[in-house]
Structure 1
Amino acid sequence: MTSWTADELDRIGNATELRVASTRKDGTLRRYVIIWVVRAGDDLYIRSAFGTDNPWYRRAKTSGTGRIKAGGVERDVTFAEPAPDVHRSLDAAYHTKYDRYGEALVSPVVGPIAAEATLRLLPRD
């Protein structure tokens, strides 16, 4: 399995915004959606701000693959399930990185509903 380089982790993890596009059945990419991204250890995570019914999240879960752009890095990725014990650290990472934008914007990406709509980003060749 391919892993993130230290440079990719730093650049993507420090980026304020990430663009994510899921793959269609024919292999083409859907349009990019801008979301937030956090790093926990050597992993990168994204969450749907409005739960599992958000269209971009449903498409990503269905396709399982896509592409991201952030911090000058563009990579094909697999959307994977996060480990069940990672959510508390992800909540803390979202607060640390994004609290400057205010509670109204951060609260949709923390807590139990956001935890259900979390994807781990795995790089693909």
Structure 2
Amino acid sequence: MSTTDQGWSPQDLDRIGGAEELELATRRDDGSLSTFTIMWVVRAGDDLYVRSARGPAGAWWRRALRHGEGVVRAGGGEREVTFEHLAAGNAAHPAIDAAYHAKYDRYGPRIVGSVVGPSAAQVTLRLLPADRG
């Protein structure tokens, strides 16, 4: 199976990045998984991203930053992942915003507005497969 530099197979990128919604669970302090949270996921290039629609107040977001690991479910599959916080000034943010607009604009500006723009850039995580080499 071929993979990208981050370890995602083309099939995983299509399956996860193409899913309408993603279920994400983060590790708790005791190592167990939290309840799965449903959210939007986008693919920009060969990377997968999620953003906290509630900003830094989201409980899953705080756990993801603290523990850096979790599990995602999408497109009928499940993968262990690590989370990489993307700095607000990262050059990838315009492409991530564009991917959210392209995929989800049909839900309207109020809803999409919670996951695009400068505030959303601050709460962006790149998903990486936990078993990458």
Shorter-chain-normalised TM-score: which range? over 0.9
Show CA shifts across 1:40-69 (max 9, x none): 111100000121121111111111100000
Percent identity reads 56
Deviation of the 1:2 alpha carbon: 5.9
Give, in whole Å, the separation in 2 of the partners of 1:123 and 1:73: 13
Tell me if structure 2 keeps the 8 A contact 1:2–1:124. Answer: no
Structure-1 residue corresponding to 2:78: 74
Deviation of the 1:87 alpha carbon: 0.5
Does 1:51 pair with 2:55? yes
Tell me if structure 1 keeps the 8 A contact 2:42–2:49. Answer: yes
SS of 1:67's partner is strand
Does 1:11 pair with 2:38? no
Give, in whole Å, the separation in 1 of the partners of 2:38 and 2:85: 20
> What TM-score do the two structures reach when normalised by structure 1?
0.95
Report the CA distance shift for 1:42/1:2 in structure 2 as closer, same or farther (over 3 A).
closer
The RMSD of aligned alpha carbons is 1.3
Amino acid at match of 1:85: A
Deviation of the 1:82 alpha carbon: 2.4
Structure-2 residue corresponding to 1:31: 35
Structure-2 residue corresponding to 1:94: 100
Tell me if structure 1 keeps the 8 A contact 2:86–2:126. Answer: yes
Q: Residue 61 of structure 1 is aligned with which of 65, 70, 92?
A: 65
SS of 1:79's partner is strand
Amino acid at match of 2:48: L
SS of 2:73's partner is strand
Give, in whole Å, the separation in 2 of the partners of 1:37 and 1:119: 10
Amino acid at match of 2:81: V
> What TM-score do the two structures reach when normalised by structure 2?
0.89
Does 1:109 pair with 2:112? no
Tell me, which stretches of 5 or more residues in structure 1 are unaligned? none
Amino acid at match of 2:66: T
